[in-house]
Amino acid sequence: MTKKTARRLRAAVTLLACLLLVGTLLFLFWGKRVARMLYPRRYDEYVEYYADKYSLDPLLLYAFIRTESNFVPTAQSDVGARGLMQITEETFDWIKSNIAPDEPLTFADLDDPETSIRFGTYFVSYCLLRYNDDIPTAAAAYHSGWGTVDDLLANARYTADGHTLTAFPYPNMRAYVRKIGSAYRAYQRLYAAG
């Protein structure tokens, strides 16, 4: 190797090291900001209020909202679910009968962020209560319904205790449970105190 080649190689290595250092510093500075843009906390007044009312971690609610609607309040699914927390009309009617029987709310009111978060938070809390605070099983029930989850819990292939799922045999359910878990872990990393 000639001296000229050696100098060029040292210069290239030095430049590469500098670029890596600058890149690392930029990532450390901007990485968390970019990640928080991907995992926002919107409608925090409602999320915090209803999370407190139903004794839930607000970060879990953000994970549900991000997964369900990506924070679009007027989102509507192919199966007719609507709002930030993508509640179906049948589920809306059931929740309304439990928490707002005398209020003049209609299914269309789920386009209102507060109503959607209020009803969705109740439903998440109910699923968690029904399934022993097991987030994956509660998420499966939120997505696929209690009947589906209860049928799976009756089959020893999918549960060790009859109360929580250890396997999710349906691809959409499995993907949904993974998304909720992944989003919740991301919110915890980005926003958890300490």
31 with 48, same domain? no
What is the extent of the structural domain holding 135? 44-191
28 with 57, same domain? no
Q: What is the mean pLDDT of the chain?
A: 90
151 with 170, same domain? yes
Query: Span 77-83, mean pLDDT?
Result: 96
Entry pTM: 0.84
Q: How confident is the model at residue 27 (pLDDT cuts 50, 70, 90)?
A: very low
What is the SS3 assignment for the chain? CCHHHHHHHHHHHHHHHHHHHHHHHHHHHHHHHHHHHHCCCCCHHHHHHHHHHCCCCHHHHHHHHHHHHCCCCCCECCCCCECCCCECHHHHHHHHHHHCCCCCCCHHHHHCHHHHHHHHHHHHHHHHHHCCCCHHHHHHHHHHCHHHHHHHHCCCCCECCCCCECCCCCHHHHHHHHHHHHHHHHHHHHHCCC
- Of all residues in the chain, what percent carry a pLDDT higher than 70? 86
What's the CATH number where 113 sits? 1.10.530.10
Place of tokens 């971690």: 57
pLDDT at 5 over 80: no
25 with 93, same domain? no
Query: Span 104-111, mean pLDDT?
Result: 98
- Of all residues in the chain, what percent carry a pLDDT higher than 90? 79
pLDDT of residue 178: 98
Query: Span 104-133, mean pLDDT?
Result: 98
68 with 143, same domain? yes
Count: domains in the chain? 2
**20 or 65: which leads in pLDDT:** 65
- Give the span between the Cα atoms of 154 and 106, in whole angstroms: 35
pLDDT (tens digit, 9 = 90+) per residue, 134-181?
Answer: 999 999 999 999 999 999 999 999 999 999 999 999 999 999 999 999
pLDDT of residue 36: 83
24 with 49, same domain? no
- Give the span between the Cα atoms of 88 and 79, in whole angstroms: 8
